[in-house]
Chain A
Amino acid sequence: MTKSFPNVLALRDVSIDVHPGEILALMGENGAGKSTLLKILSGDYQPDGGTVTRDGESLVFAAPREARQAGIRVIYQEPEIIPGIDVAENIYAGELPMRGPFVDRARLDALVAEDLRRYGFEGVLPTNLMGDMLSSAQRQLVEIMRALKSGVRVLALDEPTSSLTDEEVERLFTLVRRLRDEGVAIIYVSHRINEILRLADRVAVMRDGKLVAARAASELTQGEIVRLMVGRELTDVFRRRPAVQDRVVLRAEGIRSDWHKGVDFEIHAGEVVGFAGLVGAGRTELAKVIFGELPRTAGKISVDGREASITSPTSAIRAGIGLAPEDRKREGLVLIRSVIENASLAILARLTRFGFVQRRLERRIGAEYVERLAVKTPSLDQEVGKLSGGNQQKVVLARWLAAKPKVLILDEPTRGIDVGAKAEIYRLIDELANDGLGIMFISSELPEILGMSDRIYVMQNGRITGELQGGEGVTEEQVLGLAMVDHLAMTAEQAKAAMEAEGQL
């Protein structure tokens, strides 16, 4: 199969087969051609050459609808969920059971209940929840249910776990395995090597639009997959040099807000402090409270030993805090403006003399950081939206480096970016710590929290439930234990109810 786009040959003669009852993992860095392959399968793109065959029958899809009718379904990271209607109607959207001109609600509920029971998800997905109330995991589940009810033969999942917690990932795996056992052919795209090795039967690795390997998962090791993906050895991704100083750059005392019930923590100069926890533990909200984006009802924030009056992002920046938010497209970047305009956004006031932005100075500073972070862009005037995810994240980081904060909050800085770019972000974090910055590092990926942090705070339900010293000794189990400490204290029955109440998968 070949697919070319203007300037780029996205796929070069890739042949790939999936068998019923098999989980095939598809791996590769961003830009390797995975998404393109999926889009051909889903009927979004037409191949320039090559064919798609299912059960020996050659298929041509002119539109996504036709692919679906052929039993091929691709589930993307953020499925289309209609916000204003509930789960049941979302699952049966377009095929609602009718009685005359009215929706047959009783029959719909029965159908959905039956579907959920069949796959073991009754209780996990309340059918009367509105579309916009659903967590990422639940949204994906809705999309999967849509696919299942229409008799899917080939199910492709694109990075399904990138916004799920470890807990939710386990449930998804259970579902995927069950589907495999029922004879569905599954294509599973992910960056997370650990997951792949646990889940997949076979692993296909793509690089630069070509298939470089397709082997049984049992024959592969983590190191080998990385080597296949990047074409080079990635030795020691999490390289940290100790740089922690005695000076405390950020101290938060008794922080209370709608989400937090008295949070105390401190970050030293040169220290990377990991914040671990399940989704909903209040980590992102804590970052935003510290940054003045969300209101706090009580508590004191001090930067460099001086109490800072933080009431807005503007005042937080003035106090010396920077925040690279979790959702860089929605909260981090002005996608339709240029690299330079985005990079200089936080220092605009500093670049201004008599109301005018000093453009030479701006370009000099912008170019300096864009170069230091090795942002791959044809020019400083390129629209940020046209860059890849990793490069977009680097532009956000360039903005904050230029602002020279004392504390930098990084909320999921490596989400949705490829292995190579991740390694660069890790190296940069280490570099920044060595420059004396205090770094608040929020992540849902435990390996990177463990690998990068000098110290780790674990949160649950708006509280800090534990503090761990980083280093070799800490295990994922320890962190998870603290992240679910409330649940562990209950009986299994209570814990399940609590989790459902929190709206988790």
Chain B
Amino acid sequence: MSAADTTTTTPTTPTTPSVTRPRRGRGLIRRVIAAVGVDNLSLVLALVLLVVVIGNLSPLLGISGGQFFWSWQNLMNSLAQSIVIVGLLAIGETVVIVAGALDISVGSIASVASVFSAIIVTQGVLGSFGAGSMQLAILAGIAAGVFCGVINGLIVTILKVNPIIATLGTLAAFDGLAFLIAPEGKPIGVVTQPEFTWLGTGRFLQDLPIPDLGGRPWPGVPVIFVVLIIVAVVMHVVMRYTEFGRSIYAIGGNATAARLAGINLRNVRITMYLISGAIAGLAGVLLTARVTSGNPINGRSLELQAITAVFLGGAATTGGRGTIVGTFLAVLLVGVLTNGMNLLGVGAFYQRVALGILLVGAVAVAQYRQARAERARTRIAAA
């Protein structure tokens, strides 16, 4: 929407034309803003500011980390790889939170999928069929995630348990399940499966003639980062352009109204937990490949970071608002912040405190802005 559209809201003028059509031929800047979303501009700004601070100003403080930030080694290895797992979980979580629910079991689902994919890739199915196959392992992990997600969906829709309580329960149950399916509850090493570990270590586009940065040669794009981008794009399209996505926004905004408009709440909710579970399952597979081990504790406490990113990305706690783009930007922001703090030598405990403050601060700012918008709205309505 262009700026001019938003400022002409005067419901009192009886002569307002009923509908003004969207204008064509908008400027490039406006198109970019529209694509990112006006609500996400502050995230972009915060991100730019953070990058400038970390990348340029830290040398002035006599700390060397900043110089290192702009190196291929850091950008493509440390940064791009570190945000993938949380990024995936956050994207799945966005769907659930926009629908006005919550899925806090995603970390445990990732653990289950991590162990399960490790079992499949080392032992195969039915004897040893498919052992060592990357594709089969990915499928197995996603299937484990779908299984867990459908359980969540059924508990919430059929048993009508509050989503927080339901997934708090399955958080514990799936965590236990991950240990139960691992032989003797021990991690399963997959170092001996080169085809599979390529997922975690592989690189695309290594041959591109890209100049060195920060004294480091172009290392190529990590495979897992490409996976994140693909999932993000697909889910962005799903949320924005499909019937399912529209239903998610409608249910999150007002479930009763959505039901009375003929939307099948149960199907949409089960599907949404299925999607969240499937993506968490994929994240579990990538975890196994990266740490070369199917460990039952792989996914522990990742849900906290994922949920943090979703709210930081501008999703409403009450549902109905939130975008994949926003979540992605928030994941990037948290990634850059963590990366920067690492480079500057900030201790791990301080980092956790900083992340906590960031979450609460971001939601507080969002609440304040919403309250202000609300006031403006009631004023206009009263006028």
| Contact surface of A with B, Cβ cutoff 8 Å | 5-8, 10, 31, 33, 35-36, 39, 45, 208-209, 291, 293, 312-314, 316-318, 323, 325, 330-337, 341, 345-346, 348-349, 351-352, 355-357, 359, 367, 370-371, 374-382, 385-388, 391, 399
A-B contacts, 21 of them at CB < 8 A, read: A10-B383, A31-B11, A31-B12, A31-B383, A323-B260, A331-B257, A337-B249, A345-B257, A346-B261, A349-B243, A349-B262, A355-B242, A355-B243, A356-B241, A356-B242, A380-B19, A380-B22, A386-B11, A387-B11, A388-B381, A399-B261
Q: How large is the interface on B (under 10, 10 to 19, 20 to 34, 35 or more residues)?
A: 35 or more
What residue of chain A has the Cβ atom nearest to residue B12's Cβ? Answer: A31
Binds A, one of B117-125, B275-283, B372-380: B372-380
B242: nearest chain-A partner, CB-CB: A355
Contact A348 B377 (CB under 8 A): no
Given known pairs A313-B262, A341-B249, A348-B247, the reply for A379 and B377 (CB within 8 Å) is no
Chain B contacts of A39 at CB under 8 A? Answer: 382
Which chain B residues numbered 344 to 383 have a C-beta less than 8 Å away from chain A? 376-377, 379-383
Residues in B neighbouring A385, C-beta threshold 8 A: 377
The 9 A-B residue pairs with the shortest CB-CB distance in the complex, in nearest-first order = A334-B253, A10-B383, A345-B261, A317-B262, A352-B243, A8-B383, A31-B12, A35-B382, A334-B254
Listed in ascending order, the chain B residues whose CB lies under 8 Å from chain A are 1, 5-12, 14, 16, 18-22, 241-244, 246-247, 249-250, 253-254, 256-264, 316, 320-321, 376-377, 379-383
Say whether B320 contacts A331, CB under 8 Å: no
How many residue pairs at the A-B interface have CB separations less than 8 Å? 152
Alpha-carbon separation in the docked complex, A208 to B11 (Å):
11
Residue of A nearest to B238 (CB): A355
Q: Complex Cα distance A357/B244, Å?
A: 9
B106 CB, min distance to chain A CBs, angstroms: 24
Q: How far is the CB of A311 from the nearest CB of chain B, in Å? A: 11
Looking at A208, A314, A318, A388, the one whose CB has the most chain B CB atoms below 10 A away is A314
CB contact between A336 and one of B20, B320, B381 (< 8 Å): that residue: B320
A379 and B5 in contact, given A6-B379, A31-B11, A332-B260 (Cβ under 8 angstroms): yes
Residue in B7, B8, B382 whose Cβ sees the most chain A Cβ within 10 Å: B382
Query: Which residues of the other chain, B, contact A388 by a CB distance below 8 angstroms?
Result: 11, 381
The answer for the CA separation of A367 and B259 in the assembled complex, in Å, is 23
A332 to B247, CA, bound (A): 15
Chain B positions within 8 Å of A348 at CB level = 243, 246-247, 261, 263
Q: Taking CB as reference atom, which chain A residue is nearest B249?
A: A337
Would you call B1 and A357 a contact (CB within 8 A)?
no
Q: What distance in Å separates the Cβ of B221 from its nearest Cβ neighbour in chain A?
A: 29
Q: Which residue of the partner chain A has the closest CB to B320?
A: A336
Closest to A384 in B: B253
Q: Contact check, B264 vs A314: say whether CB atoms are below 8 A apart.
A: yes
| CB atoms of B250 and A341 under 8 A apart | yes
Query: Which residues of B have CB within 8 Å of A377?
Result: 18-19
Contact A376 to B246, CB < 8 A, known contacts A6-B379, A7-B380, A39-B382: no
Beyond A333-B257, A334-B253, A386-B381, list 11 extra A-B contacts (CB 8 Å).
Answer: A8-B380, A325-B260, A330-B256, A333-B254, A345-B258, A351-B243, A356-B243, A357-B241, A367-B21, A370-B19, A379-B19
